[in-house]
Homo-oligomer: A and B are copies of this chain.
């Protein structure tokens, strides 16, 4: 990244920090005999949805995964008893994915480890003020990216 520009410079660090932090979190989860982050993401988007259920495509959008990836992830989570599939009442093509009690329990256990890592690796280096500023910048990016998505579709 031939970063003359301070924004490009920030981006380069953004990418590296993300990679390093993710690597560490995965290691911490593995060390605690817990599944990886993508499982967590699916469980979390489900748990935060009303009744713990979402359609496959919604999981994909919220967790930023490809559709086919969500299908496969759901297969594995289902095999592990963490989610169940159900027909979608409004749309015969759709499939709902529902988090189970075991799924909720596992997510909570993962969060204990995950949170500790976030706090130690990321949060510890930000003041509350910085965190808020960062949040709002990131929110601008995210809204803009999601907006584009809709327009393209």
Is the CB–CB distance between B134 and A10 below 8 Å? Answer: yes
Is the CB–CB distance between B64 and A138 below 8 Å? Answer: no
Whole-angstrom CA separation of A85 from B46 in the bound complex: 47
Stretch touching chain B among A11-19, A76-84, A89-97 = A11-19
Contact of A8 among B19, B118, B145 (CB under 8 A): B118
Min distance, Cβ A116 to any Cβ of chain B, angstroms: 11
Number of interface residues of A (CB under 8 A): 48
Binary per-residue interface labels of chain A (5-32) against chain B in the complex, 1 for a CB within 8 Å, 0 otherwise:
1111111011111111101100000000
The residue in chain B whose Cβ has the minimal distance to the Cβ of A65 is B19
B contact residues around A138 at 8 Å (CB): 10, 13-14, 16-17
Is the CB–CB distance between A19 and B119 below 8 Å? Answer: no
Whole-angstrom CA separation of A130 from B7 in the bound complex: 9
B contact residues around A36 at 8 Å (CB): none
Whole-angstrom CA separation of A149 from B33 in the bound complex: 21
Whole-angstrom CA separation of A71 from B45 in the bound complex: 36
B contact residues around A44 at 8 Å (CB): 1
Whole-angstrom CA separation of A119 from B8 in the bound complex: 7
**In the assembled complex, A68 has its CB within 8 A of some CB on chain B:** no
Is the CB–CB distance between B126 and A7 below 8 Å? Answer: yes
Is the CB–CB distance between B145 and A5 below 8 Å? Answer: no
A residues whose Cβ falls under 8 Å from a Cβ of B: 1-2, 5-11, 13-21, 23-24, 44, 64, 111, 115, 118-119, 121-126, 128, 130-135, 137-142, 144-146
